[in-house]
Amino acid sequence: MMAKFQRFGGAMFTPVVFFVFSGIIVGLTAVFTNPAIMGDLAKEGTAWYTIWKIIDSGGWTVFNNMEVLFVIGLPLGLANKAKERASLEAFVVYMTFNYFVNQILQMFGKNVGVNINSDSATSGLKMIAGVKTLDTGVIGAILIAGIVVWLHNRYFDVRLPDWLGVFQGSAFVAMIGFFLMIPVAALFVWVWPVLQHGILQMQYFMVKSGNFGVFTYIFLEKALLPLGLHHFIYAPFQYGPAVIEGGTTLYWVKHISQFAASTKPLIQLFPEGGFAMQGMSNIFGIPGIALAFYSTAIPKNRKKLLALIVPGVLTAAFAGITEPFDYTFLFIAPALFFVHAFLAASLATTMYAFGVTGDMSAGLIDIAAKNYIPMWANHWQTYAIQWAIGIIFIGIYFVVFRFLILKFDFKTPGRSDDEMVNMFTKDDYKKKKSHSQNDNEKRNPFEVAAGAYINLLGGASNIQSVNNCFTRLRLTISNPELLATDNQFIAVGAKGVVRNKNAVQVIIGPDVTNVREEVDNLIENGGWEDFNPSKIVSDQQEENYSSYTATEAQLFAPVDGLFIGLDQLNDEVFSKKMLGDGFAIKPTNGNIYSSVEGVVESIFPTKHAIGIKSNCGAEILLHLGLDTVELEGKPFNILIKEGDHITEKTKVAEMDIDSIKKAGKEPDVINVITNMDQYKMSAIKKENNTEIKHGDPLVVLYQK
């Protein structure tokens, strides 16, 4: 459970990384558009003012879309695999949730005391990506993202029957999320207005808690860092709603210009800023610790020690990254780290008691851009007090740490007789704390297949690139001689292999997208060696087609042209019937019709292939041209959509034959039955190069 909390905390950092730069931009534009600082140059209407207002609008991108950033960012850190797809799923489900909330409020808002038409700042509503919905802040976004990640990790790899293959993966997760969001949205509409009232009371309490509240917050934020739980402390304060709606970061940047122009003390303007002072220990605490390290080091090691700690001090003070120092305490003496947490809380609380406040949670660069530069004209006295207190605390840090190091003989950097004590990183700490765990998780079938294919392809080092189309895994191989035989590929589930020097195609079928995801994952993260192809048995499930009312299907010519058998095609996948039996036509025009009555099951993104489920359950692949996947859909115009019921009279696509030929491809229209093992086909009585018209009956399929 602790590992899950730590992982969640780490994922929180994914969207947060954008805030620092955006905050600096907003802070600087507040300075450069302030006439009190820049004079007449910054008056409204000047070119200078106009340019900086344009820049300012871009700086607000992150702050105006924090919820969306968290929804997209968290899955990148939490999803077990296919992280990019998980992010897209989260965005779709989150927006579905907001649309549901909007509609429920329009119909029942008065029953819960919410007026969806209100534009008041205290209405509890917000526009998110163009949808007016409850203002649940990043808390709501995190909850929905968490639900989607759970759905993704649990259901993304679920293998559906081939005839439902189009709904596998992300589509399946989004479908479940769609229906789940209906009760979730209803629950939020009922509960959240009550929570908003409670949050307002909590904010009032936290602000009134004064110095005690600030000390407790800073101490916990620092002390919980070793456990990776500090994110749970600062996130509700910085990004809302623990102490102020929207969080201290957003509130400060929204009011920079107002605060800069005011002569009132900052503590009166922004008392909530005491909960954004954790950056003070970066600037004034770390230098004191470094001085203690230097002072207590063996003299012969001090020169080397300077080269070690000076970059760390500068990084901590200017960028707010304190990892080398923080994790060194954990290795050497955990007690020192908790002393650091106590002193950091004392430092921030003392400054707050003397009226220092603002958005000071990072390093000196960020703090200067958002505090010192814009506020200096009217609030320089506050910052003079701050630095006086800070310098005093550098001395306090130095004295306390030096005393404890010498008293308890902690082997801090430079205190070893025989070698330097190194600074450590978070990875070092995790390795020290980690224990080996048995991985008994059941492998999903796509991962099993992917691992087997990588082994049969000569290993990850033999694979230069991986891609896929509708049915094939397309690879570039370094050494073709390392590849296994076709029979070995077929034994683990492949329908065949096409080899052309370094270009290899593994024919898989509708599962290819899921298998491709697992191939990428295993190549990137390792583990493919664990799959021994000789021990993997292909598990082919038989589908029950008893639900179909028809037991046979008539296939028709889908286009005008010349009939040709599959064995005449210049493509081994089709000519050797790896995907199934069927026929092909050399078209004389680009009007493509359905070859069977049924339902459109899938349309490949590059538009060169259409999957049709006939009324008797036969799966028909209508493939437009050879290797036309490389043309990225440009020669095709698809006229139907997935789910449409079509017949031989339905025009499904238009194909630009000339552009296909100019690209060096063949425009042959191919009709293949991909689940041919469940059907038998009547004899085709057409000779090669026989002229036919679309709609001509060609062959009948019968269930076996």
* pLDDT tens digits along 338-385: 899 999 999 999 999 999 999 898 788 888 888 898 899 899 999 999
pLDDT, residue 346, reads 95
The fraction of the chain above a pLDDT of 70, given in percent, is: 83
Confidence of residue 86 (pLDDT cuts 50, 70, 90): very high
Mean pLDDT across the chain? 82
Task: Look at 298 and 345; give whichever has higher pLDDT.
Answer: 345
Catalytic residue among 404, 469, 631, 673: 469
* DSSP letter, residue 473: E
pLDDT, residue 204, reads 63
Q: What is the pLDDT of residues 195-204, one digit of tens each?
A: 766 766 665 6
CA angle 404, 409, 413 (to 5 degrees): 90
User: What distance lies between CA 633 and its chain's CA centroid?
Assistant: 27
pLDDT, residue 434, reads 47
The fraction of the chain above a pLDDT of 90, given in percent, is: 31
Task: Look at 565 and 500; give whichever has higher pLDDT.
Answer: 565
Task: Look at 334 and 267; give whichever has higher pLDDT.
Answer: 267
Q: What is the pLDDT of residues 583-642, one digit of tens each?
A: 999 999 999 999 999 999 889 888 999 999 998 888 999 999 998 888 888 999 999 998
Task: Look at 332 and 21; give whichever has higher pLDDT.
Answer: 21
pLDDT, residue 541, reads 35
* DSSP letter, residue 78: H
The CATH architecture of the domain made up of 552-703 is: Distorted Sandwich (2.70)
The answer to which of 117-131, 167-181, 401-415, 602-616 has the lowest mean pLDDT is: 117-131
What number is the average pLDDT over the span 235-261? 79
pLDDT, residue 612, reads 93
pLDDT, residue 411, reads 76
CA 375 to each of CA 63, 262, 367: distance values in angstroms, whole numbers, following the listed order:
21, 9, 11
pLDDT, residue 550, reads 54
pLDDT, residue 333, reads 66
pLDDT, residue 384, reads 95
616 given a catalytic annotation: no
Tokens 């286009």, residue located = 559
- The domain defined by 445-535 folds into Gyrase A; domain 2 (3.30.1360)
Confidence of residue 292 (pLDDT cuts 50, 70, 90): very high
The CB-based long-range contact list for 369-374 (8 Å cut-off, 24+ gap) reads 369/23, 369/24, 369/27, 369/28, 370/23, 370/24, 370/26, 370/27, 370/252, 370/253, 370/256, 371/27, 373/27, 373/28, 373/31, 374/27, 374/28, 374/30, 374/31, 374/34, 374/37, 374/256, 374/257, 374/260
What number is the average pLDDT over the span 504-513? 77
Q: Map out the domains of the chain as residue ranges.
A: 81-208, 252-408, 445-535, 552-703
- In order, the DSSP letters of 368-404 are IIIIIHHHHHHHHHHHHHHHHHHHHHHHHHHHHHHHH
pLDDT, residue 551, reads 66
- Give the burial class of 581: count Cβ atoms within 10 A of its Cβ; 0-12 exposed, 13-18 middle, 19 or more buried: middle
The answer to which of 392-401, 412-421, 579-588, 632-641 has the lowest mean pLDDT is: 412-421
Q: Is 641 helix (H, G, I), strand (E, B) or coil?
A: coil
